[in-house]
Amino acid sequence: MRHATLLRTGLSALLVLGAWTAAGPTSASAAPTPASAALLSAMQRDLGLTEKQALTRLADEKAATALEKKAQRAAGSAFGGSWLDAKTGRLTVAVTAAEKAEAVRATGAETRLVEHSAKSLDAAKARIDALKAPSGVSSWHVDPATSRVVVNVVAAEQADNDVRSFVAKARKAGPVTVKTTAQAPQTFAAGTVGGDPYYTGNVRCSIGFSVHGGFVTAGHCGGTGQQVRGWDNSYIGNFQGSSFPGDDYAWVNVGSGWWTVPVVLGWGAVPDQLVRGSNEAPIGASICRSGSTTRWHCGRVLAKNETVNYSQGAVHQMTKTSVCAQGGDSGGSFISGDQAQGVTSGGWGNCTSGGETWYQPINEILNRYGLRLHTA
């Protein structure tokens, strides 16, 4: 269908055979390209890196991702979490027992002695998840580097009685540090405007990643059964499953002349990046986002398994990033190198003044609906 799709610079990560062809064939003997020119350019712009530094960062992150599970097994019950040190390019693993440090270092990771295990911190966060948060509480997550649960409150509302009461209860749940944030998070859906990726009713969102039979996106963009239209107002499919709040994910079947390809577009005439898998990047890794409003932007992974308190209700198991986003970017692709990471949910700020954005991890979505990521 629709050769005109090849000319669309506003179409997100989908759906056009012409875009797949433009990426060029790959041979079995050729090594995967670590990043396209567009992704490297975005990393240089948003992270202040040279091209050489961006390539080095991607190589370090790939190595850390491969090492993370091995190092966790070496730490055993003393595992306190892990993160990538962007300055050294090394994975750091927190351990609660000094005698475990040598075994962890033998895997190639650095170590830091901490007070609390990841298991105990996750349990404390789960107790906080059971509390009802007021609007002045932005989010909360486990920070392995400080071995604490960080509770983020909106700076202008930190003296509010309900906020103070929530923080007091959170402190009883476990080791808590309170930080302030500039604004409360919100989802990044937008009203209908002409020429952008897909619509549900009067809402515009962005396509995330192709799966066999459809694509994944954000749950707040539409409910199960709702019809989805493309940028040209033609019928694509329907939401086959959707969850929001609690979660923020959904998937849409693809038909009626549309089809899927393993590509995240770089907002030009050719695809930006082939998708080759969904290995999870560590805290501290660089990450880039593609969305129908603000196109390509990059930043770092700041936290995992964060609970985000939107006005519509809390959403769990989110990943926080320093990447900016704006209305209409919801559902779009978060990618690290050539590995799919998740779909854009919401955040605060914009791509002029900056901000933070959360995504719902891709592997959780695939597991929830029994989907298979479309990879190159």
Catalytic (active-site) positions: 220, 248, 330
Which residue from 14, 44, 6, 35 is spatially nearest to 292, judged by alpha carbons?
14
What is the length of the chain?
A: 376
Q: Where are the alpha helices (DSSP H) in 48-149?
A: 51-75, 101-105, 118-129
- One-letter amino acid identity for 214? G
Sequence-separated (6 or more) residues with CB below 8 Å from residue 97? 78
Compute the distance between CA of residue 348 and CA of residue 323 in angstroms, rounded to an integer.
Answer: 10
Sequence-separated (6 or more) residues with CB below 8 Å from residue 123? 174
Site of tokens 């897909």: 198
With b meaning 16 or more CB within 10 Å and e meaning fewer, what string describes 218-251?
Answer: bbbbbeeeeebbbbeeeebbbbebbbbbebbbbb
Q: By the 8 A CB rule, do 338 and 373 touch?
A: no
Compute the distance between CA of residue 124 and CA of residue 360 in angstroms, rounded to an integer.
Answer: 21
The H or E element that residue 121 is part of is helix 118-129
Compute the distance between CA of residue 126 and CA of residue 262 in angstroms, rounded to an integer.
Answer: 35
Residue 6, number of CB atoms within 10 A of its CB: 15
Q: Is 364 helix (H, G, I), strand (E, B) or coil?
A: helix
